[in-house]
Structure 1
């Protein structure tokens, strides 16, 4: 039985507009839904401007208002002219008290609209953006131009301070949150597990250790590193199964490359590319441990935190926000990024642990998430920031 949630600060009669490219799937979009829920609970009105997507229905079910527009466009005219005009109209018509932008292109539109209407402006720095030119650094800088800037980890905060030289008092670390009631193994029924296993064509009880790699299919998430590790393990006489859980999002050529690599390594039947999953708690319940082998820094690493909440040990790349979500040797292991042999060695270390040691590692991870990375903590901190900004 879950404990009562602590109350939120009041946003009574306040209207908050969040601006995101689209409401498809991913950490940014899910955080948008979570914050919209908190705004409504705090007595405010929650608006979201985006190009739409599968999570719009979740927003509207909460009582939030979705306003459709070309928020995902990078066309300069759309970004700097037409979307600015549309957002000004929304701000004035809906009497918006705060504009909160979560991605660069729509953030430029939101910044200009907020300045034109003298509306407080908040940004969340969700990712670590590449900046190989002065123009790209200027483009990225919009995410540091908020009256308040939210960083989703200490790693992200340090990056923002170094890249954009903003005042420390303008930036606040608010970790991404995990719904610890949803991601609780005791709350995942046998029926859900069996239905998902049947849908994916895998056994619920695998005779071999089973890993899960939860990430959209894109090269920087490290799926190829995981396959390389599986190849090393097979040559050493160790066979494990792996679930690659994530949507290719149009990257069909990359998905084909992964399939070709699986055949080359001779690990067909051990690797299952199962696509998008709407029930990640059940997905984690089908695995013995999770792997997040990103080859570029994760700003936070929400899937690693979700896996730990489910009591799974996690092996993550030793860079970026993963160093804050995974405690090396305690809740899992940190492995050299991009190194399949190092990842295979970490998996071997994990498999060599006794059942009691694995259980203790999983329990330590669950405790860490529940003390530091909950959805409620994210909601409370964000609503508090909104309230302070409105009052100021």
Structure 2
């Protein structure tokens, strides 16, 4: 198939990461993929790094004539089988361009906040595919009143070559932060604000550190409440075992250094990309049993699901993951699970089937019994 991906959002968001990853996955699967992307930002840089052909343009809003001209020009030149979009401000422009040229349109929705009444009614019905990135998200759209026959599912892909166990990176990152080879490293990757459960994680980690002297936490990312976490760490008595990277463009180099990952959100996540990135590196996950996170893992097999915000429960599971044979076994299971369900080849196959036949993937992810 010939696929024209239109994503002109210059921000470095999870949706942008998904957009690039899906385009690369489809290209690797043998499809002809091109993009209309911005010159700056994660999407433009990601398409360029992947060697995908692009036209640089931008939709500043849904009425930007330059954006329409770029899309219609590429449709005329390429005759794509599908237009693929990821961002709200481009929904109506892509629907309009698709209608004008008789080109089907597939639109992803990554967020749960409700759209305007016009968009909520029209976009799922006028796009040939309106796609949620998890069962959790699909359920939210159905509760809006979107008919079930108008909402499909396609999970995020992860490049299991970019994200894989890497002993050299593991040793390098640990040396960089003064962490020993035999130490146990709890990793956190993401923004640092209250909804991500970082304060509850800090409490649980400090309680676990009091019982496990080899336990360290590597905090990867930044956010407006990072300073408060530094202050709490400084008062904890374990300041030398909390390590902060600040903002980093490429988080993939840190995952192999983790013994396990914590994904402690107390507000629902639409999907939870960080979970599958860690698992692809052979790192088991402690994940909040909320939103789309349970769909990224098998409870008791690739990690553990835990009640959001329950500090004693998180402390106990952190200590459970300090059992190294258990952690290694879960890490092996995690990588296998991700390759089978979220690897580029698996997601590309599902997405192709979705475009051709409108089928929701038949396998049900997550929620294994402990």
Q: Which residue matches 2:63? A: 80
Q: Give, in whole Å, the separation in 1 of the partners of 2:122 and 2:235.
A: 44
After TM superposition, the structure 1 = structure 2 runs for residues 219-258 of structure 1, keeping only pairs within 5 Å, are 219-234=194-209, 240-246=215-221, 248=222, 251=223, 253-258=224-229
Q: Deviations along 1:263-289, whole A, 9 cap, x unmatched?
A: 343432222221345664542221211
SS at match of 1:315: strand
Distance 1:30 1:40 in 2: 16
Matched, 1:193 2:170: yes
Displacement of 1:122 in angstroms is 0.8
Structure 1 residues 68, 221: closer, same or farther in 2, change over 3 A? farther
Question: 1:238: Cα distance to partner?
Answer: 6.1
TM-score, normalising length from structure 2?
A: 0.82
5 Å-filtered alignment, 1:291-330, equals 291-330=262-301
Confirm or deny: 8 A CA contact 2:21 2:159 kept in the other structure: no
Q: What is the Cα deviation at residue 374 of structure 1?
A: 1.2
Query: What is the TM-score with the length of structure 1 in the denominator?
Result: 0.78
Structure 2 vs 1, CA of residues 44 and 275 (structure 1 numbering), >3 Å: closer, same or farther?
same
Q: Match for residue 130 of structure 2? A: 149
Q: 1:203 to 1:65 in 2, by over 3 A?
A: same
Mapped pair 1:184 → 2:164? yes
Matched residue, 2:334: 365
Q: CA deviation at 1:291?
A: 0.5
Separation (CA, whole Å) in 2 of partners of 1:181 and 1:45: 20
Deviation at 1:206, TM superposition (A): 5.1
Cα distance in 2 between the residues matched to 1:362 and 1:92: 44
> What is the deviation of 1:86?
4.0
1:203 pairs with one of 155, 161, 179: 179
- C-alpha separation between the residues in 1 aligned to 2:352 and 2:11? 21
Structure 1 counterpart of 2:141: 160
Residues in 2 aligned to 1:140 and 1:270: alpha-carbon distance in whole angstroms = 48
Indicate the residue corresponding to 1:34 in structure 2.
21
Query: What is the aligned length?
Result: 355
1:309–1:92: structure 2 CA closer, same or farther, 3 Å change rule?
A: closer
CA displacement 1:46-82 (0-9 Å, x = unmatched)? 11334631452331243323344444x5xxxx33344
Alignment partner of 1:332 is 2:316: no
**Unmatched tracts of structure 1, length 5 or more:** 1-10
